[in-house]
């Protein structure tokens, strides 16, 4: 069993560079299946979700070359073959193979997606959109069969009942090579959606309105190869900003787009966090007194659910009481008990988390219950007195590129121990 061991209480300083966005790249890689030529991606994060996607792409017949943070993918050899449950279940974003395989072949046999357990995570909106575009669906065991019965998938007018990142992107993937026009209403507006639309358009697609509530896609017959720079990971950036405010003595976070983080930064400002925003970097000063605030997550551009857990240790440093309400994933509370085990005054009260600060954290053995809860454990470990051992770290490595190296460069006493009991 691998674990991360942190000796806390050390002040961190220096600079850290943010990697390409996980939630973009996990859609960009499946999107490449739709191209009739080689597509290169630059700024690809070194995370295990990317390793899993490359493995799946190669199994399907794509040729993949990886060099540093660049990927070159030739999807022309991809075969219309079943992609059963095993590999697919290692990550949630494997649902993007539904849209891209449907768009390319008009059919797909793909296992059900996995990912972090944040409570119920249905994919009904994805499936409703595919159905409206002429696909039929059947389940066989843990696999989903999607088919247009030999016909080309067609455009449709789709209203999303709930704002969903995955369903919006998946519908775009299925629609770019469909016959006719697709309109997605009540679309999600996350920056990753714009990033995927940019790649598709650079491949020759006609996607308009990405980043707004209405996206219109005119289907085309062919898409060509291109080169694309992945946007910076706003969740990784938010994690390092929270960490810098919690334990930093002056940390500059580079490769950040401030406009992707406005909801988050506004909250930090309300806490009294002092920082300076430049064109593509944010400098976080050493903090004195922080004020407790309440946090409520909402779809972009609101406070991201993915930052709710990473900000929690910082909230515990602030004076006063506050609540955290996750309106997207009510059950995203795995970090709460672990933080309480470290001595924090925090609990789940109905559909909210309630905390009282400042709490003194003590190092102990904790678990990363999911990816972003894992990030919270790392920050808490850096804040705590004594040694913190984090297990279940596979979650953390799914989404944080080179986290150990980046933190060591800032002066953290942190090690990844392989094969420990």
Q: Which is nearer to ligand UD1, 6 or 127 (CB)?
A: 127
How many positions of this chain bind ligand UD1 (CB under 6 A)? 20
The yes-or-no answer on residue 383 being catalytic is: no
335 binds ligand UD1 (CB under 6 A): no
Out of 19, 23, 226, 359, which residue is the one contacting ligand UD1 (CB under 6 A)? Answer: 23
Out of 136, 138, 142, 162, which residue is the one contacting ligand UD1 (CB under 6 A)? Answer: 162
194 binds ligand UD1 (CB under 6 A): no
167 binds ligand UD1 (CB under 6 A): yes
Is 29 marked as binding a ligand? no
- Pairing verdict, β 365-367 and 387-391: parallel
307 binds ligand UD1 (CB under 6 A): no
Where are any strands of DSSP class E within 239-284?
A: 248-254, 275-277, 281-284
What tokens were used for 271? 């806490």
Q: Which is nearer to ligand UD1, 166 or 225 (CB)?
A: 166
Burial of 237 from C-beta contacts in 10 A (0-12 / 13-18 / 19+):
buried
147 binds ligand UD1 (CB under 6 A): no
DSSP string, 285-317: PPP---B---EEB-STTSB-HHHHHHHHHHHHH
What tokens were used for 107? 């059919």
Stretch in the footprint of ligand UD1 (CB under 6 A) among 116-124, 132-140, 269-277, 348-356: 116-124
Is 123 marked as binding a ligand? yes
Q: Which is nearer to ligand UD1, 237 or 292 (CB)?
A: 237
Measured CA angle at 66 (ends 87, 233), to 5 deg: 75
125 binds ligand UD1 (CB under 6 A): yes
What tokens were used for 237? 């950036």
Sequence-distant (≥ 6) Cβ neighbours of residue 215 within 8 angstroms: 168, 172, 183, 184, 187, 193, 197, 207, 208, 209
> Per-residue x/- mask for ligand UD1, residues 274 to 303, rule CB under 6 A?
------------------------------
Stretch in the footprint of ligand UD1 (CB under 6 A) among 122-130, 148-156, 334-342, 354-362: 122-130
Distance of CA 14 to the CA centre of its chain: 25
384 binds ligand UD1 (CB under 6 A): no
305 binds ligand UD1 (CB under 6 A): yes
What tokens were used for 300? 């972009």
124 binds ligand UD1 (CB under 6 A): yes
CA–CA dist 105, 150 (Å, integer): 9
Residue 32's nearest CA partner among 101, 95, 82 is 101
Is 390 marked as binding a ligand? no
52 binds ligand UD1 (CB under 6 A): no
Sequence-distant (≥ 6) Cβ neighbours of residue 421 within 8 angstroms: 1
Is 92 marked as binding a ligand? yes
From residue 288, how far is each of 253, 270, 295 by CA, in Å? 20, 14, 21
Out of 77, 80, 122, 269, which residue is the one contacting ligand UD1 (CB under 6 A)? Answer: 122
Catalytic residue, chosen from 116, 316, 346, 383, is 116
351 binds ligand UD1 (CB under 6 A): no
CA–CA dist 203, 287 (Å, integer): 46
336 binds ligand UD1 (CB under 6 A): no
Out of 12, 31, 318, 328, which residue is the one contacting ligand UD1 (CB under 6 A)? Answer: 328
From residue 147, how far is each of 65, 160, 168, 309 by CA, in Å? 31, 21, 20, 39
Residues that bind ligand UD1 (CB under 6 A): 23, 26, 92-93, 121-126, 162, 164-167, 188, 305-306, 328-329
Catalytic positions are 116
Known binding positions for phosphoenolpyruvate: 22-23
């Amino acid at each position: 069993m691998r674990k991360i061991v942190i000796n806390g209480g050390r002040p961190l300083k220096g600079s850290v560079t943010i990697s390409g966005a996980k939630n973009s790249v996990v859609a960009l890689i499946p999107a490449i299946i739709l191209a009739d030529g080689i597509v290169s991606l630059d700024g690809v994060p070194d995370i295990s979700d990317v390793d899993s996607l490359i493995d799946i792409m190669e199994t399907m017949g794509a040729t993949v070359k990886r060099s540093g943070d660049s990927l070159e993918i030739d999807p022309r050899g991809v075969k219309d073959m079943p992609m059963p449950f095993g590999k697919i279940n290692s990550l949630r974003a494997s649902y993007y193979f539904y849209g891209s395989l449907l768009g390319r072949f008009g059919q797909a046999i793909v296992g059900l997606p996995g990912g972090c357990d944040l409570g119920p995570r249905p994919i009904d909106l994805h499936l409703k959109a595919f159905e409206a575009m002429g696909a039929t669906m059947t389940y066989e065991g843990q696999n989903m069969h999607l088919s247009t019965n030999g016909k080309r998938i067609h455009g449709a007018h789709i209203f999303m009942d709930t704002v969903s990142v995955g369903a919006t992107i998946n519908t775009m993937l299925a629609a770019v090579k469909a016959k006719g026009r697709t309109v997605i209403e009540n679309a999600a507006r996350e920056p990753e959606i714009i990033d995927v639309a940019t790649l598709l358009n650079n491949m020759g697609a006609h996607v308009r309105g990405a980043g707004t509530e209405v996206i219109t896609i005119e289907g085309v017959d062919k898409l060509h190869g291109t080169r694309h720079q992945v946007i910076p990971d706003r969740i990784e950036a938010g994690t390092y900003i929270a960490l810098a405010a919690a334990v930093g003595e002056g940390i500059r976070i580079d490769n950040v787009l401030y406009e992707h983080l406005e909801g988050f930064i506004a909250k930090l400002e309300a806490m009294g966090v002092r920082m300076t925003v430049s064109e593509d970097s944010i400098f976080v000063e050493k903090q004195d007194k922080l004020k407790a605030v309440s946090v409520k997550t909402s779809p972009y551009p609101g406070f991201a659910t993915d930052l709710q857990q990473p900000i929690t240790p910082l909230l515990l440093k602030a004076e006063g009481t506050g609540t955290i309400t996750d309106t997207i994933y009510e059950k995203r509370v795995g970090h709460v008990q672990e933080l309480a085990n470290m001595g924090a005054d925090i609990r789940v009260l109905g559909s909210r988390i309630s905390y009282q600060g400042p709490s003194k954290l003590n190092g102990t053995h904790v678990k990363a219950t999911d990816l972003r809860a894992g990030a919270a454990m790392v920050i808490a470990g850096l804040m705590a007195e004594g040694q913190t051992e984090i297990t279940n770290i596979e979650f953390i490595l799914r989404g944080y590129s080179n986290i150990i190296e980046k933190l060591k460069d800032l002066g953290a006493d942190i090690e990844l121990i392989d094969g420990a009991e």
